[in-house]
Homo-oligomer: A and B are copies of this chain.
């Protein structure tokens, strides 16, 4: 019988969680109770949102407790079962945590991967997982793009941003990405098909770069950053613009609460809307979204990149790495052997 390897939360970070806030543990596999099954995780997800899950500041979910397995989405297959509806070999995704093996009674399963699913299992955590679903509902439902609109997205080369840009193109919009670094901006244009991309780190005048990239103004802004990028976007919003607030990657801490230019006058003069959303509210529509996203992936209309880190030892530093901007595409921990 193998033992489990787990990443536990060791202490609560102020701001971005780093390697020192986690510890690795080896634990025996508990025997299964009736109605339970065991998942052998193959891929563990690494997401910017995990920062919020370990924060003590008010959030949409209970923070991970000290000493608990780090909450994370994972994909794997059933390796042992006492559950009538889950058979050995079934592939599943869910909140199985940063660990090699997870026990489930089925309630934390996010997706039962269909037997005929013909895309890589890792895609179930990225373009067909939370990232793709976030792009799908955030852009299409909250952003409400119309053909001819200009859609701007921040962290555009990332797992969510790259999908937003491609969905905007599918919707007949002009897609403009903002990314950190010339390489990422080039990736947006050359690999993900954005009409224009701005390297905000290299831009001497972000306002002018935005005006150049968005000659007809901005109709939809998919906001992954808040901060200076969003403050540059706000004055260029068009009448009736929609801002989908998805993340606040550029804010390193909410204690003390950061200040910024007030938004009310922009919203008023432009009759514009800013709206936060949470992907879990769209759960009843996940199947619809996965079906359409998979179809677009197969037809080559949505491309995606993955950034694999091998072995669970890489997990503790992996979130901080996202905020250092070191990944290109969806970051995943690949567990050996797969």
Known: A223-B264, A262-B260. A275 touches B277 (CB 8 A): no
Counting CB contacts under 8 A, is A88 at the interface?
A: no
Counting CB contacts under 8 A, is A267 at the interface?
A: yes
Q: Mark A241-276, 1 if CB is under 8 A from B, else 0.
A: 000011110010010011111111111111111111
Complex-state Cα separation, A69 to B47, whole angstroms: 58
Counting CB contacts under 8 A, is A58 at the interface?
A: yes
Give the chain B neighbours of A278 by CB distance below 8 A.
268, 271
A interface, how many residues as a size bin?
35 or more
Give the chain B neighbours of A272 by CB distance below 8 A.
275-276
Complex-state Cα separation, A270 to B59, whole angstroms: 8
Q: Is the beta-carbon distance between A251 and B276 smaller than 8 angstroms?
A: no
Give the chain B neighbours of A264 by CB distance below 8 A.
223, 226, 230, 245, 248, 251, 274, 276
Counting CB contacts under 8 A, is A60 at the interface?
A: yes
Counting CB contacts under 8 A, is A85 at the interface?
A: no
Q: Is the beta-carbon distance between B259 and A254 smaller than 8 angstroms?
A: no
Q: Mark A12-56, 1 if CB is under 8 A from B, else 0.
A: 000000000000000000000000000000000000000000000
Please give the count of copies of this chain that the complex contains: 2
Known: A226-B262, A254-B265, A265-B248. A274 touches B271 (CB 8 A): no
Which residues, 213 to 248 on A, are CB-close (under 8 Å) to B? 223, 226, 230, 245-248
Give the chain B neighbours of A267 by CB distance below 8 A.
245, 274-276
Q: Is the beta-carbon distance between A251 and B275 smaller than 8 angstroms?
A: no
Counting CB contacts under 8 A, is A288 at the interface?
A: no
Q: Supply 5 further A-B pairs (C-beta < 8 A) apart from A258-B261, A274-B275.
A: A60-B271, A251-B264, A263-B263, A268-B276, A269-B276
Q: Which A residues fall within an 8 A CB radius of B?
A: 58-60, 223, 226, 230, 245-248, 251, 254, 257-278, 281
